[in-house]
Amino acid sequence: MNYFFYHNRGFFLLLLVSTLILSCKTDAPADNTAIESIISSVTNAHVPDKRVAIFDIEAKSTSIGYVIKGETNLPKALESLKEELKSQQITYVDSIEVLPSKTLEGHIQGVIRVSVANLRGKASHAAEMVTQATMGTPVKVFQKQGSWYRIQTPDQYLGWVDGGGVALMDHEQSKAWKNSEKLIYTQTFGNSYSGKTQNAQVVSDLVFGNILQLVSEQGDFFEVMYPDGKKAFIAKSEGVPYNEWKSQLPFTKEALVATSKRMLGIPYLWGGTSAKGVDCSGFTKTVFFMNGMILPRDASQQIHEGVLVDETGDFEKLVPGDLLFFGRKATDTTQEKATHVGMWLGNNEFIHSAGDVHISSMDKDAENYDEFNHNRYLRSKRILNQKDEGILYVTEQDIF
């Protein structure tokens, strides 16, 4: 055997293996255009509104190919994405988390435990408040980030709530809470107390629509339990057993008007949907909820519900309780955009939240004429007693 080759065969073997590895190495994808186009197409088909669905998927180009990462609560949309990638013969590493997250260890349901919980666009108190949820609202829990939880309310709206705002529950705990007898708080504002007197220590504040577990009746007070287990007393004059309240809902335009006027003067709050502060659609949402109907969160969602009453400014067609929508009208180059909503009261007046909750008029000669909104009027819709997919009735759906 050749002396040189014998003593250097290790070097030649290493060189041969290195050459084979290099020749078999997969080049990194040139760009993400094709795969991003597929993700975009699937998103448009399955997730028309990211306010109510999670499909945060992205593709990363690496030295070994594509890595698809992100999270979603839409298994069917994810399956559609995978099928499309397969049909396009695109290979990838799957790093997508299907929510709810396994790190929640089964605590994928919850109930809002404070009078009003602020839900934000990101897991931070500095992030924009996108909506609110009131005490007793059942929520789906999707994931945790630090001390924050990503949740979804019965109207399907998504947001992040800090851990102090929600009582996490597993399936059995959620079932037990849901099957318990409830009480709904019917005053605009108030308190619960540690004893059967309003001179006792305050346990917490309460607002319109708060729902608690009803434990017992004791004289002039209801004994209640919060979603986190603490107990308190509420004056009977300020609350009603939930089932009794449901059975007495009139579903009338007069009831809507009466409820709306109880909120006069409440300040405008971006993202607000409670008596502590409301934006325009949060106001209409609260009014309808206290009358047994859960509407979609935003004006741009509410405008798609109900039946069309008017779109020309003929306010004689309207009846109290109809919703008026305002915003940017469609042009040849821009789409219509509903950015404001109010509720018709009759007598050429409507009530809405802008600065605060107040009454404005469509009569140009009236002292409270609202020229700004008159000029950007889009249309009016009748919501009361209408059966649409986006309208939930507490008398028909077992929500609470």
Catalytic residue among 171, 304, 352, 358: 352
Q: Do residues 339 and 234 both lie within one domain?
A: no
For position 276, which CATH number holds? 3.90.1720.10
Please identify, among 228, 247, 266, the residue that sits at the C-terminal boundary of a domain: 247
Q: Do residues 93 and 135 both lie within one domain?
A: no
Instruction: Name the domain count of the chain.
Output: 4
For position 40, which CATH number holds? 3.30.1340.30
Per the structure, the complete domain to which residue 172 belongs is given by: 103-177
Q: Do residues 304 and 242 both lie within one domain?
A: no
Q: Do residues 201 and 308 both lie within one domain?
A: no
Q: Do residues 143 and 77 both lie within one domain?
A: no
- The three-point CA angle 276-280-284 to 5° equals 85
Gap between the Cα atoms of 400 and 181, Å rounded = 10
Three-state DSSP class for residue 127 = coil
Whether residue 266 contacts residue 278, with contact meaning beta carbons closer than 8 Å, is answered with yes
Q: Do residues 112 and 58 both lie within one domain?
A: no
In a domain, 370, yes or no: yes
In a domain, 10, yes or no: no
In a domain, 2, yes or no: no
In a domain, 400, yes or no: no
Q: Do residues 280 and 384 both lie within one domain?
A: yes
Query: What is the DSSP annotation of 18-54?
Result: HHHHHHHPPPPPS-SHHHHHHHHHHHHHH-S-TTS--
Q: Do residues 296 and 383 both lie within one domain?
A: yes
In a domain, 186, yes or no: yes
Q: Do residues 168 and 192 both lie within one domain?
A: no
By DSSP bridging, strand 92-98 and strand 65-72 are parallel
| Predicted TM-score (pTM) of this structure | 0.90
Q: How many beta carbons lie within 10 A of that of residue 220, not counting itself?
A: 12
Whether residue 361 contacts residue 374, with contact meaning beta carbons closer than 8 Å, is answered with no
Active site residue 7: no
Active site residue 280: yes
Q: Do residues 112 and 205 both lie within one domain?
A: no
Please identify, among 247, 266, 281, the residue that sits at the C-terminal boundary of a domain: 247
Active site residue 107: no
Please identify, among 99, 118, 143, the residue that sits at the C-terminal boundary of a domain: 99
In a domain, 8, yes or no: no
Catalytic residue among 171, 304, 340, 358: 340
Gap between the Cα atoms of 299 and 282, Å rounded = 9
Q: Do residues 321 and 302 both lie within one domain?
A: yes
Q: Do residues 119 and 90 both lie within one domain?
A: no
Catalytic residue among 280, 304, 358, 374: 280
For position 117, which CATH number holds? 2.30.30.40
* pLDDT string in tens for the chain (400-residue length): 444 444 455 444 444 444 433 333 344 454 688 899 999 999 999 998 999 999 999 999 888 789 999 999 999 999 999 999 999 988 899 999 999 999 999 999 999 999 999 999 999 999 999 999 999 999 999 999 999 999 999 999 999 999 999 999 999 999 999 999 999 999 999 999 999 999 999 999 999 999 999 999 999 999 999 999 999 999 999 999 999 999 999 999 999 999 999 999 999 999 999 999 999 999 999 999 999 999 999 999 999 999 999 999 999 999 999 999 999 999 999 999 999 999 999 999 999 999 999 999 999 999 999 999 999 999 999 999 999 999 999 999 999 9
